[in-house]
Every structure is written in C-alpha cells, then in structure tokens.
Structure 1
Amino acid sequence: MDFLTKEIIYQKSSQEITSLLYEALIDHTKGAIQDIEASRLIEANDKLKKVNDILERLGVGINYEAGIIAEQLDVLYNYMADLVIKANVKKDIEPLKEVLTILEDISGAWQTAMKNNKSSQIQQQLLRKTNAYERNVMVYEREPNTVEEGK
C-alpha cells in the first residue's frame, strides 16, 4: 500500500478505495497481532489506532439508502472497533483474531461484489450501445416524409 500516490488514489472509484481500506485494515490487524506476540506494545498500539481510524472512516462513508446491508455494516464496524479497543487495552490477540476473520469475510464479499458489478456495468454499456445502434437503424428505415421531399 505504500506505493500508492495521491494521483493513483484520485483515479480510483469509491468501491476500489473501500477495497484498499479493507486491505489496510487486514494488514494493520495482522501487524498488531505480530507486535503483541513480540511484546512490541507501542507499535501494536499505533497499528490498532490506525485500525480504529479506518473503521470510523468506513462507518462515516456508509450510504444508508442502500438498505439493511448498510445498517449491518455499521453494526459490524462498531463491533470490530469495540473489539480492537478491548484488545488494545488488554494487549490480547484473541479479539483481534475475531476482527481479522470478520474483515477477511467482508473483504472477500466486497471483492466478489465489485467483480459482479463490473460485469453488470459492461452488460449495461453493451445494451446502451445496442440501443443506440437500433435507434440509428430505425431512423434510416423510417418512411419518407412527403413534406421533406416537396410532394
């Protein structure tokens, strides 16, 4: 993730940015687990603060018009944030393992949804092009207008 520049990020869709945030969450959570196991508690604390920051930003970015899935994501983000805080206070990796499992599931589902959405968008573009073609064909095949021909 360090190789991403502002220009590259600005070119990403909101769905792709969300995917990158999930990757960052997974990376920081794994790193925090390793740091706690190695008794690098300050580094673990820094990573866990980043995890909570990203979870908060994801929660703020939820489109609640999307329905029940949006509400469920909000609940999951809050639940994971609570687990991260508990893990950070107690320096316990078990809650972080649970967070990691949830994150990997959400990230996998998000990737699948993005792939399905891309194929759906391609189909919609083809349909629009086909419709535009058919409209043009219909224009050329219409009955001649007697006013246009001067009759």
Structure 2
Amino acid sequence: MYGNKGIQAYKKDSLRSDLASADPHRVIQLLMQGVLERLAISKGFIERKDMESKSSTLTRTVEIINALRDSLEYDANPELVENLDSLYLYMIDRIHQASAEMRVEPLDEVMSLMLQIKGAWDQISDIDKQQAYAQES
C-alpha cells in the first residue's frame, strides 16, 4: 500500500503536470478547485480540533484566493472585477472568522460562494475563451 504521502506526492505531480500544460482559463479552474478542496479538508481539521493542520490549510486557502485576486484583469470588465475582488475579500474575512472561532459554518458559506463563481467560470465557452486570448495578444 502506498499510504497518504504517496497519494499526496502523486496528486502534487499530477497538478504540476496539469498546470504546466494548462491555458489561463484552466489555471483559474484549478485554483478554484484547490480552494474548494482545502476548505473541505479544513472543515475536518476544525471538527477534530486539529489547530496546527487547520491553520496551515486555511493559510494556503487564503493564499490561493489572493492568487485569484491577483489574476483579475481590471481592463476586461471593471465593475465585474471590482465585485469579484470584493467577494474574494469577503471570503478571506469569513475564513479568518472560521479559523478564530473554530466554526465550519463560515467555511460552508465560502464553499457555496466559490462553487457559484466556479460554476459560472466553467460555463465560459471555447469561443469566448479564444476571443479573450486574442484580445490579450
């Protein structure tokens, strides 16, 4: 049997491989998926009162959300981007609250919000993606 470390190493290598060949749209999808996965893991740490693991996982989650914020392009649609940035900041606040209070409910709220954003992102058509890439060049 491989054990947990082997599985984690495989996942990390698989993610690196996926990121290396990913277009910008796919990178954002992977970041959003990473947030969702870490939130789910963090809920377990909170329920088990594993403070150290909860803290490191939620810190990484906030880092990923900040990477999503950094990827926002204000030229594309300033109003939408401003709303997304505010929503990401709200998510970060809720994560900090969940961490400080050792409560999973704020994480459930963040997961729901991220699922909505990711759902909309996943609906972007290939034609729209190609048009966006053409505007960047």
Give the structure 2 partner of residue 69 of structure 1: 80
1:29 and 2:39 aligned: yes
RMSD: 1.9
Match of 2:19 among 9, 31, 43: 9
- Choose 1 or 2 for highest CA Rg: 1
Paired residues in the alignment total 120
Given the superposition, is the C-alpha separation of residues 38 and 70 from structure 1 closer, same or farther in structure 2, using an over 3 Å criterion?
A: same
Read off the aligned partner of 1:21 and give its amino acid letter: L
> Under a length normalisation based on structure 1, what TM-score does the superposition of the two structures give?
0.72
Alignment of 1:87-102 (within 5 A): 87-102=98-113
Give the structure 2 partner of residue 142 of structure 1: none
Q: Secondary structure at the match of 1:4?
A: helix
Give the structure 2 partner of residue 55 of structure 1: 65
Structure 1 residue runs of 5 or longer lacking an equivalent are: 125-151
Structure 2 residue runs of 5 or longer lacking an equivalent are: 1-10, 132-137
Read off the aligned partner of 2:21 and give its amino acid letter: Q
Runs of 4+ in 1 over 2 A off after TM superposition: 1-8, 119-122
Give the structure 2 partner of residue 19 of structure 1: 29
Q: Conserved in 1, the CA contact under 8 Å of 2:91 and 2:110?
A: yes
Given the superposition, is the C-alpha separation of residues 107 and 121 from structure 1 closer, same or farther in structure 2, using an over 3 Å criterion?
A: closer
Q: Secondary structure at the match of 1:66?
A: coil
Read off the aligned partner of 1:82 and give its amino acid letter: D
Q: Secondary structure at the match of 1:51?
A: helix
Of 37-46 and 50-59, more deviation after overlay is shown by 37-46
- For residues 121 and 95 of structure 1, the distance between their equivalents in structure 2, rounded to whole angstroms, comes to 33
Q: Conserved in 1, the CA contact under 8 Å of 2:25 and 2:129?
A: no
Match of 2:50 among 40, 54, 79: 40
CA offsets, 1:72-127, max 9 Å, x none?
A: 110111000011111111111111110010011111111111xx1x14568x8xxx
CA offsets, 1:39-95, max 9 Å, x none?
A: 222111111001111111111111001221111110111000011111111111111
1:26, distance to aligned residue in structure 2 (A): 0.1
1:5, distance to aligned residue in structure 2 (A): 5.4
State the percentage of identical aligned residues: 23
